[in-house]
Structure 1
């Protein structure tokens, strides 16, 4: 199997380079030939940026059509080849930035292949995300076999979804024998506001105390008399604030380890694919979905619907595209789908992503000549599921460093436009939060949430993921992002897009073996510790206990003679008066 290492090394506004000195290497790049680099024109192109300068040549690499295999779009970097013994260390370095992206992070991706032999088994690959602004990248390699002169090489593979990126100042250095891999420069991933005493975090924690907690008074009585001088344990067992993740119906129906671990962590579920129009074409999948919904309801898991209308051909059935010249037919097909799905799930869905990713998916709007087909989705939802809340969902709002103000402004106005044209049917907005290598500083996250908060509707952190694999940063940034979101009064839920680590490596609440992952360490440390209310109190002469805690469902327990008495009570926002508990 090909050896793969996942390295994301950055340097820039939110990333710092460790400034330790390192030995000078021999640069193997053949700058006389670099002007002539190329790629398979079937799938993309390489453009040398003029004026051409050998030592700091700049070129743009573009994938126009995604090939079946990533390596079909490739560029070999010309180098002065030589034989190399096992254990020698190399450093590939360059500056790059993304100019076009199909990913929700707004970034391009490259596989950087360190070629050691003709056998793919001996090649080492580093998968690199490219920032949307100029960043410096350092990728070290170490030979683990003796390399023949003809085999040594560096190859860029970029056969991903359509994308483009600029690259310049490329070097490929070979270091003297005996140089340690650890001696090479290593970029430390940092972000503004990560310091332990950051002001934003102190302010956020203060808002959490204000917005997510309150004082309460609970009075215990038995047969109309106060239970006095009684030691009672009181603990939060379920947050009022929903935390959730994307799931698959097949896991729920199978009641497998994935679903069992889901229930240990979350009380809100969103189906990753099962409610989408393409999945619902198949009776087997529809039956599985209905069974999964029933199981979730019995397990007291809230279900968010995703998605009623995703207006791009890539996410619609072939029949839609086949009728692209027939607006009336397309309108009827979409309206029938929305109606049937709402009837199928009536009284089972808490809230819906009615429209998803309309910024880059506009095929339905173009076919029908307006956004009315989207507005009608909101109207149908309120008519057929009047209790369900209606959300819009979009990516690229908080990701990419939070710097895409053009898209942020478009989304803001789009939300207002839909609300106006539906008579105020927008209940909430989804901000997906797929975080790439540009770690959006928590202060920037809060600034963006404040911006959308002026709309005075709910905000869902609807699809949180992270591309960075370095576990310490992965854990810390997840924790900081959650603190920022939980502190904002408009944020009404927090969902991860997945929860068990898979080949995409974007979420690891649990690792594949169901041990706790880096993101899971952050998540559980917050909901089970920092944001947990658990105390022992003693009733006074009126049978009351005073407390302060997070909103949610509480369990109380105490010993009454020879028995242990247990029960539950609710602490809700804007709840006034004494909570009365009557013991039989």
Structure 2
């Protein structure tokens, strides 16, 4: 995702009085060039040009400010980053410095079902997109409410290199924001000592109805009937034989995106990284190594096809199934130099041939290492090729991919398509694109939902309803392809990891969940990682291990009955069973395939 700043409107004239706010803050430096909202400018994407108005208004509050911004969005201006208030930093930040953004907000009108307006807060590099210190989303109450968003600098930033932003591209709403302060404390105040506004989500409660229903579905759809019969050398049943059943792998795919350099260059951290990959995951994809520019060596950093192939070989040698990402990412900024130079010229008709040649070339080089590909990535915001050549070119991308890779699962992949209540336009576009591909004969095998979760996570019931919508419309497998939770609230991160994994594992359409990284130093949003920079574990690691290796694995001890049989319901996956009877012992391995039952007969020597 990349924000295109189409229209920038400076905003001045808001004078703030000294605050006597509800929460006392430590003394610090101003992060921005002025303490209030007049440091910000308004940036709009084309979809929001005629839909947003902003005024400075007099107001009354109990918090010491008497002026505020009134921001009205007159319709659904999604995506959320279509409307932003932005200000670059005026004070240098050193890595590890702490700070806080404090503001007050209220909702006057909102088209949202909750009746509350939405506001997103981000702190990130002023240039580029992705890595950042804060990305939080919350609702503004009807009466003035205080919001406190602490942060820790994730790198050194010179003046103007960091940016504070408020994102407002949501449903029609009128909100007011006042009493803004952005402070930095250097290394004088610990992050843990700073006050914060904590966020939650509907359905977080342990006794939520959705959770009980999900756990029932898990028992039904993720387990099969397993029967083990033990006989002696003459084929007669062995009664009271001791069985120790151990599940060694899940049939469900729990994966991660990987920077391939981490697999191939020996450093102390990279060695730990590889150990974690082998310990935690049974599926993977490259993070960037198979993107077109990286394959050609045009990406900044150490990227080339030799490294890409060596990384794929490493994963294959370690028996980790790997998906390809991505054949065509059709936005100008994600295309190689040769294609960008042709766009908008009389020779742009040559582009489709170049794209198809790339699909053929990279498919031939990688197909022995992969089992699925994202053929088309993020068409909602990346559509320059379709704008130039017509949307029918998408069908041909899938057709050529199928010709080159007859047995490969072929995906349509996009972001912000996991909850129709928070981004209805994006979900509708994703569904319309999938429908267009299917109706025009494209061999679309599966759907990819990125599920990058903000600081105010989506209600599980809403995500489940969106999955139902796709399942009912297409009956195609769905993979969560790029999951992360970008919040500094580690308890919230852990709880939502539990709940998102639970809802995904409970839905019949989902074949796997892939994290978009797991370690702070190899993650596009460091705060979203499960492991900190020093490899210490956040609470989400305990949740991850408990679900995947304890609650959703079948490990037990029992004995055979008088017929020499033991029967149970077991999670789909790979197993080893050890049988002991008298002084005889044997170990036997087998698989309980997804969606099947299994009868195993073991003969003692």
| Structure 1 unpaired stretches of 5+ | 1-20, 77-88, 100-104, 113-125, 143-154, 175-180
CA spacing shift, 1:561–1:321, aligned 2, 3 Å? same
Match of 1:270 in 2: 285
Match of 1:396 in 2: 416
Match of 1:251 in 2: 262
Deviation at 1:391, TM superposition (A): 0.8
| C-alpha contact (below 8 Å) 1:235/1:555 kept by paired residues | yes
| Residue number among 417, 429, 434 corresponding to 2:447 in the alignment | 429
* Per-residue deviation, residues 342-366 of structure 1 (Å, max 9, x unmatched): 0001232111111000000011112
Match of 2:566 in 1: 545
- 2:177 aligned with 1:168, yes or no? yes
- 2:271 aligned with 1:231, yes or no? no
Find the residue that maps to 1:159 and give its secondary structure: strand
Match of 2:475 in 1: 456
- CA RMSD across the alignment: 4.1
Number of matched residues? 499
Match of 1:496 in 2: 515
Match of 2:295 in 1: 280
Paired with 1:235 and 1:190, the residues of 2 have a C-alpha distance of 37
* Per-residue deviation, residues 213-255 of structure 1 (Å, max 9, x unmatched): 1222112335452343210100211111111010121222247
* Per-residue deviation, residues 25-82 of structure 1 (Å, max 9, x unmatched): 9xxx9xxx999934689999xx993363262320679xxxx9xxx9982589xxxxxx
CA spacing shift, 1:571–1:299, aligned 2, 3 Å? same
Match of 1:240 in 2: 251
| C-alpha contact (below 8 Å) 1:37/1:75 kept by paired residues | no
Deviation at 1:307, TM superposition (A): 0.4
Deviation at 1:463, TM superposition (A): 0.7
- 2:429 aligned with 1:410, yes or no? yes
Match of 1:14 in 2: none
| C-alpha contact (below 8 Å) 1:297/1:348 kept by paired residues | yes
CA spacing shift, 1:249–1:90, aligned 2, 3 Å? closer
Alignment of 1:549-568 (within 5 A): 549-559=570-580, 564-568=585-589
Deviation at 1:286, TM superposition (A): 1.2
Match of 1:37 in 2: 38
Q: Quick check: 34-43 or 505-514, which moved more?
A: 34-43
Paired with 2:426 and 2:395, the residues of 1 have a C-alpha distance of 20
- 2:111 aligned with 1:92, yes or no? no
- 2:319 aligned with 1:293, yes or no? no
Paired with 1:203 and 1:409, the residues of 2 have a C-alpha distance of 27
Match of 1:381 in 2: 401
| Residue number among 327, 331, 340 corresponding to 2:348 in the alignment | 327
Paired with 2:40 and 2:468, the residues of 1 have a C-alpha distance of 45
- 2:127 aligned with 1:109, yes or no? no
| Residue number among 148, 164, 186 corresponding to 1:139 in the alignment | 148
| C-alpha contact (below 8 Å) 1:110/1:156 kept by paired residues | no
Paired with 1:387 and 1:426, the residues of 2 have a C-alpha distance of 12
Paired with 1:444 and 1:575, the residues of 2 have a C-alpha distance of 30
Deviation at 1:419, TM superposition (A): 1.4
Match of 2:16 in 1: none
| C-alpha contact (below 8 Å) 1:509/1:521 kept by paired residues | no
Deviation at 1:563, TM superposition (A): 6.6
Alignment of 1:366-377 (within 5 A): 366-368=387-389, 370-377=390-397
Match of 1:82 in 2: none
| C-alpha contact (below 8 Å) 1:22/1:183 kept by paired residues | no
Q: Quick check: 261-270 or 214-223, which moved more?
A: 214-223
What TM-score does the superposition give when structure 1 sets the normalisation length? 0.75
| C-alpha contact (below 8 Å) 1:551/1:571 kept by paired residues | yes
- 2:543 aligned with 1:534, yes or no? no
Paired with 2:358 and 2:541, the residues of 1 have a C-alpha distance of 37
Q: Quick check: 213-222 or 370-379, which moved more?
A: 213-222
Deviation at 1:170, TM superposition (A): 1.7
Paired with 1:141 and 1:514, the residues of 2 have a C-alpha distance of 22
| Structure 2 unpaired stretches of 5+ | 1-20, 46-51, 60-65, 73-80, 92-98, 111-117, 126-131, 152-158, 170-174, 184-190
Paired with 1:184 and 1:349, the residues of 2 have a C-alpha distance of 46
Match of 2:163 in 1: 159
Match of 2:209 in 1: 199
Paired with 1:52 and 1:452, the residues of 2 have a C-alpha distance of 44
What TM-score does the superposition give when structure 2 sets the normalisation length? 0.73
Deviation at 1:582, TM superposition (A): 4.2
Deviation at 1:141, TM superposition (A): 8.3
Match of 1:129 in 2: 135
Paired with 1:318 and 1:90, the residues of 2 have a C-alpha distance of 41
Find the residue that maps to 2:556 and give its secondary structure: strand
CA spacing shift, 1:456–1:569, aligned 2, 3 Å? same
Deviation at 1:467, TM superposition (A): 1.1
| C-alpha contact (below 8 Å) 1:508/1:518 kept by paired residues | no
* Per-residue deviation, residues 510-542 of structure 1 (Å, max 9, x unmatched): 333334322222111101111121111212333
| C-alpha contact (below 8 Å) 2:240/2:581 kept by paired residues | no
Paired with 1:242 and 1:350, the residues of 2 have a C-alpha distance of 12
Q: Quick check: 304-313 or 254-263, which moved more?
A: 254-263
- 2:327 aligned with 1:308, yes or no? yes
Paired with 1:205 and 1:358, the residues of 2 have a C-alpha distance of 34
